[in-house]
Structure 1
């Protein structure tokens, strides 16, 4: 473990490196004609146990392939690193979407590197463990013209930035706490935002039972609690504790004991999770409990923003999230924009949180998840749930739309407009899947897209853009963003893709529909 002097030296060197960002960060704007190199390291530097729950997680490094659209700037060079080589057809697919740029010109400005390592170790660590590869990447970058971007920032991303001498346009790892469940709750309290009653951070099951009993005592009518791993993501680290049937004893010690005995029967949201495994993660990651927010017609919206290296806060988008799993805790997809009834309120709350984060020194992406519950007067009560300080599941569909249309988000109405002034909408998912899709190669998908004309049409700026092509053959799932001129049209485009894939794989279901959540509005 590094001593204090070494840690201080690393911190000081990183801060000095980051001071270059203020003159370089604008190179990440697709609308700025800048002569720069962008290094994309799409490492999922997350808890490996939690990451293993996501089928095809290794291929989620492909989610940042929307970054290839930055090559629409004719002087931008892009270096993209992955754990395993990308299918050439996936690269061609994205480059052919670039408006007004010859394919060969863009391809000459793209450099691809791979570690040829299929393990679940974070990509960033794989690069650090390969000094020759690290040296080749460094030689490809032009000094003082390069910026590194990533999926999420940890100490190893900081180490990589220092070794490459490239500023990191991402969160300082020293601020990671503010993107945890406990850190989020602290910021909500500082901002005076409504959020569910909950607990402090604990690191063992006995303390967890105690804080759960404390919460139950404060709210005796509660029927369910949510147990959350402090660094869980996409809802995979959540579990539901059903308080009904635990008895109505008001004795504090009896309640703690009843809750402790109920832990093995928690409703785990993650795939193949067990109490034994979950308990071990509590010791490693920590956990909190929160009151479960219920209500008929509740929705799960989010707001996304960005903090520039100068401290300016910008709202980028709002979404209604599509959730699944046993108790509706797992992120499956999203639709843009969020419902009109709470869209502007999301923007206002997002700005408050963004300013709080900026004052703490955070930069780049942030997203805030909420639960919206309608009241009897038709208004919406918003409850802040958590802050994500990384490029999440709503990042790539929005950036895909932005780069494809070169359009703009308007705060007045919370809509996105193309350069022709036409509002655009989309439905997106990382989880269009069916066992019958297994065995489809990326080339097969391209054949299907072309035959049924499912691809994005640059003349109408509608259609579907696919991602996660590497997941298709082995895991039978693919990601997509279906863009329309109305939300209904975007849903129809998405549904057509689903129906075509079912037909082409001989698994058509005439009753197949969009998830119910997409019909709630």
Structure 2
């Protein structure tokens, strides 16, 4: 039976990123974050599974008809009745509040209408016998309550498990799973004096640079980190412990904060509130930042979903994109370690949902060494890119972490993905402009070859000059060339629009 006509699941998507709203406001175009998974949701739920989708954003998706038609057309098959099974609902609210707060705002009549639309969708699909679920990005107490009201299951770990995603818990879980991680504090630190003492200890042990990390799961993109280069402090090696700690304490305000929008006093208050850990700042010419995306199923099975090498900017602390798959030189170890973390989370009571693990990889005389860096109890920035690529190819990753094209050649596909194709010149461009330019160029995704550019988060381009893309190639060189070609194409589009 054709996938477009088979009765399938029903999904309500409320992709609420629930980090600190003040921090969320500092990410360019952050209010459009919930749109990132639109393409993968349409391809997976509507095209592949023959199901129905209700997708909620705030603000509304720009050029919704064009975007839905674009994603439904990517696989190269006829749409059938698929367009009627996709509904986009938006609230006129571009503020930095969580999407869950916007949707569940009891004082907003527009939010009440959105909730009514959700209930109508859920009740109608349930009467049709569909498996109805609420799909969201990370543990969320507000959305758990909403799911209970709707009498549908959610798809993420319970919000009571959120503390497992903090920096201190992550270090403990790495130790339990037998995974090496950077040298650092064994205990949670709540005062500057405690931090200074730990930094002094590490300086005596020979470490030349350290990171101070706020112990929360809401900072996002490394914005809770402070960087301290001990060589720049001129700490004398012969100083006694008390004097050395005092010198470090005096020097701490000179640490470089990854978040440029806060002061040192702001950071100190955050330390007192959440606590912090100190760890070795691993710096090496060969250093890379691989990540693992996993999932714990409802029956407790730990699944390896994907691996990537992450792309960072801003002191190499802020995520902007990724390359799939992670390097073959350490990918098997990455999968092994990622699954170990999933099992440790399961033992701690995580009953299902997404999780991600970030690592540092450095070359040693004995080969590559992976160090556990951070555990994210949620989907990660790689989720939408992999969802698009695997959905279009119609296959999960192989046990060794590759995507193999299901066509007659059975060849591998890789991709380069960016969440931050950004330029002030792009402001004013609409999704329809981007879609037309890409689909009418040689860069557009070709389902016969299973290569090409797939756009996402396009609504942010109009106001913020920013959008994202997944560039799928038969090899790394092709994927890289596609991303470069996309930038050149949109540069030309923006230049023509400004004339």
Deviation at 1:223, TM superposition (A): 1.1
Structure number with greater CO (CA < 8 Å, separation at least 6) is: 2
Distance 1:32 1:280, change over 3 A: farther
- Corresponding residue SS for 2:306: strand
Deviation at 1:403, TM superposition (A): 0.7
Cα contact 2:305–2:396 (8 A) shared by 1: no
Match of residue 488 from structure 2? 499
Q: Which of 54, 73, 92 is the equivalent residue of 1:96? A: 73
Matched, 1:77 2:58: no
Match of residue 517 from structure 1? none
Matched, 1:227 2:201: no
Which aligned segments of 4 or more residues in structure 1 are displaced greater than 4 angstroms? 30-34
Distance 1:474 1:308, change over 3 A: same
Match of residue 190 from structure 2? 203
Whole-Å separation in 1 of the counterparts to 2:252 and 2:132: 49
Deviation at 1:31, TM superposition (A): 12
Distance 1:90 1:75, change over 3 A: closer
Deviation at 1:282, TM superposition (A): 2.3
Pairing 1:356-375 to 2, within 5 Å after superposition = 356-362=344-350, 363-375=352-364
Pairing 1:4-83 to 2, within 5 Å after superposition = 35-65=8-38, 66-69=40-43, 70-73=45-48, 75-83=50-58
Matched, 1:151 2:145: no
State the TM-score, normalized to the length of structure 2: 0.89
Q: Which of 318, 328, 338 is the equivalent residue of 1:340? A: 328
Distance 1:32 1:286, change over 3 A: farther
Match of residue 275 from structure 2? 286
Cα contact 1:53–1:236 (8 A) shared by 2: no
Match of residue 22 from structure 1? none
Residues 435-493 of structure 1, C-alpha deviations (whole Å, 9 max, x = no match): 22222222222232134232211111100111111221222221110000111111111
- Corresponding residue SS for 1:410: coil
Deviation at 1:275, TM superposition (A): 1.4
Q: Which of 137, 155, 178 is the equivalent residue of 2:118? A: 137
- Corresponding residue SS for 2:450: coil
Deviation at 1:185, TM superposition (A): 0.6
Residues 185-205 of structure 1, C-alpha deviations (whole Å, 9 max, x = no match): 110011111001122223343
Match of residue 3 from structure 1? none
Cα contact 2:294–2:355 (8 A) shared by 1: yes
Deviation at 1:348, TM superposition (A): 1.1
Whole-Å separation in 1 of the counterparts to 2:122 and 2:210: 50
- Corresponding residue SS for 1:239: strand
- Corresponding residue SS for 1:384: strand
Deviation at 1:124, TM superposition (A): 0.7
Matched, 1:273 2:262: yes
Cα contact 1:39–1:80 (8 A) shared by 2: yes
Deviation at 1:33, TM superposition (A): 6.1
Whole-Å separation in 1 of the counterparts to 2:227 and 2:144: 35
Cα contact 1:246–1:259 (8 A) shared by 2: no
Cα contact 1:53–1:271 (8 A) shared by 2: no
Give the gaps of 5 or more residues in structure 2. 106-110
Pairing 1:372-383 to 2, within 5 Å after superposition = 372-377=361-366, 379-383=367-371
Distance 1:410 1:330, change over 3 A: same
Cα contact 2:47–2:72 (8 A) shared by 1: no
- Decide which moves more: 265-274 or 222-231: 265-274
State the TM-score, normalized to the length of structure 1: 0.86
Deviation at 1:34, TM superposition (A): 5.6
Whole-Å separation in 1 of the counterparts to 2:401 and 2:133: 30
- Corresponding residue SS for 2:472: strand
Whole-Å separation in 1 of the counterparts to 2:181 and 2:439: 47
Match of residue 123 from structure 1? 99
Whole-Å separation in 1 of the counterparts to 2:86 and 2:195: 50
Whole-Å separation in 2 of the counterparts to 1:135 and 1:253: 63
Cα contact 2:439–2:445 (8 A) shared by 1: no
Give the gaps of 5 or more residues in structure 1. 1-29, 508-521
Residues 31-75 of structure 1, C-alpha deviations (whole Å, 9 max, x = no match): 996632111111111111221221110011111112111101464
Whole-Å separation in 2 of the counterparts to 1:425 and 1:75: 26
Match of residue 351 from structure 1? 339
